Amino acid sequence: MRVVEGARVQRDRLLGSAGLAAASAVLFALTFPPTRWTILSWLALAPLFLAVRRGTLAQALFVTWLWCVVGACVAGDWFPRAVAEYFHQPIWVALALFIAVFTLMAGPYLMAFAAAYRGLARRLGPLALPFFAAAAWAAAELGRGRLFTGTPFFIGNPWALAGYAHAQNLPLAQIASVTGIYGVSFAVACANAGAAEAWLAWRRRERSRRAVIAPVLLSLLPALAFIAHGYAVLGRPAPGADAPATAIAIAQGNLSVGTQWRSDFYGRNLDVYLTLTDAAATEGHPDIVFWPESAMTFFLEDEPIYRKAIASVTRPRGIELVVGGPRNDGAHPEPRFFNSVFVLGTEGEIRGRYDKQYLVPFAEYFPLQVDVMRRRFGSVRVFEPGSEKAPLATRAGSAGILVCNEVMLPEVASERVARGAVYLVNPSNDTWISDPKYTEQQFDIARLRAVEQRRYLVRASTAGPSAVIDPLGRVLVRTNALQREFVLGEVRPVTERSIYGRIGDSFGLLCALAVAAAFVMPRLR
């Protein structure tokens, strides 16, 4: 009888923990676009932290995995739909892939956090624990983004990190120029861990001021300090404010990638981008016009006729183009293909080129030759990663190129700036998803890259939003999502490097070291 009763208690406890984790995941997801209920982020993780503290370690790992999957489904419900449409697969196959992706790419790191948090709770008092819990959370996010990135079969996917919910909270976001995105996440996790400690003290009927209020007040100190720092930064001129401005335009074609990946559409869509470029030049006289990733559906180097068509628009207006398209290396009989960005002079001549380095698995390359869902672009089957990391020379200065998902990788942006980039460019192909939720989430990620590096960032998207973002994360101009239009703006070169640009992910590494030290040092109170 006692065995049955014990099993019932364990089942009820697991169900309660699972409910807490699921509620936490939903609240967490609502902090991201399109809802952007950012205020929820200060409490959204607390139910997860409480669930992790209940029951056995195995139960804690399970509810953490559940949190990961539920949160991804709510925040990223665009993923299964996009995969089903893009790869022509049943929705259940897309959903299974979605769960597998986040189980592999986020689950292990969050489970490691759960195990560490439980251990820390046994070693630390309620006043110290929130800070170490936040350090464990930041370290888990760092591992998720950095470990295994760039291997032949894997790339980091640091999407929907806690800090990205605060991309529009400019005072708090400024700390990213010192700590990277992980500092913002640290502040959020610390506040949530403090709330969890206060709740546990209340449940234990320890309702003194020290037991309930002190953990909350102390855990808010990082956020308050970071916000104070941010207001001080925003009160000063932005980096590069005195540098000469270069007038630019961004052409947003809003053309379906589904047609661009068919050989019978080779060369299509050029007229759309030339028309947008001509209209932008008529209205604003830009020195540079940016086209998005995959704007060209032909091999530029092999098509002098198309280059002449481009020059017919750029030559009379004196326009330089920065444009994305495929490239082949001309090898025979098996050429290699690259996802490239070109700089074109006024005569249509190629002045520079960047080949994308960090490719998307199963969309741009196929790990272990798994080609069930391959698609064609003319004779293109897979892309090869590029090797050259140097910025491209443009009229506005050296441009650090971050193609599409590369903007999700802070270390790649740092590398571009370290090699001399005075501004950043993010050409992106977003029409294959065509969901405002996705595009706004990616846009927020790009804003944090501008803040981290203290650089102007030009985002040229096929579906939008396309924008110019200044070094403080302020959106100077932007397009509407899922519209065909152009936008005029300006960029300024910035040469000084941010603290984060110089020290990289030192903050995240220090967080990991602090957690490790808590396990090897004597019991702290």
222-227, Cβ contacts within 8 angstroms, sequence gap of 24 or more: 222/131, 222/134, 222/186, 222/187, 222/190, 222/191, 223/42, 223/172, 223/187, 223/188, 223/190, 223/191, 226/171, 226/172, 226/174, 226/175, 226/183, 226/184, 226/187, 227/171, 227/172
Active-site option among 141, 197, 293, 406? 293
Q: Cα(59)–Cα(56) distance, rounded to whole angstroms?
A: 5
Q: What is the residue type of 237?
A: P
Active-site option among 197, 356, 406, 490? 356
Burial of 153 from C-beta contacts in 10 A (0-12 / 13-18 / 19+) = exposed
Active-site option among 404, 406, 452, 511? 404
404 is catalytic: yes
State both tokens at 293. 């990733």
Q: Cα(131)–Cα(428) distance, rounded to whole angstroms?
A: 37
In this structure, the number of other CB atoms found within 10 A of the CB of residue 345 comes to 16
Burial of 92 from C-beta contacts in 10 A (0-12 / 13-18 / 19+) = exposed
pLDDT digits 0-9 by tens, 115-145 = 999 999 999 999 999 999 999 999 999 999 8
511 is catalytic: no
190 is catalytic: no
On whether the CB atoms of residues 25 and 40 are closer than 8 A, the answer is: no
| Fold exhibited by the domain 246-495 | Nitrilase/N-carbamoyl-D-aminoacid amidohydrolase (3.60.110)
Provide the CA 256 distance to its chain's centre, in angstroms. 22
User: Is 518 in a helix, a strand, or coil?
Assistant: helix
**Which parts of the chain register pLDDT below 50?**
259-261, 373-374, 376-378, 525
Hey, where are the domains in the chain? 2-236+505-520, 246-495
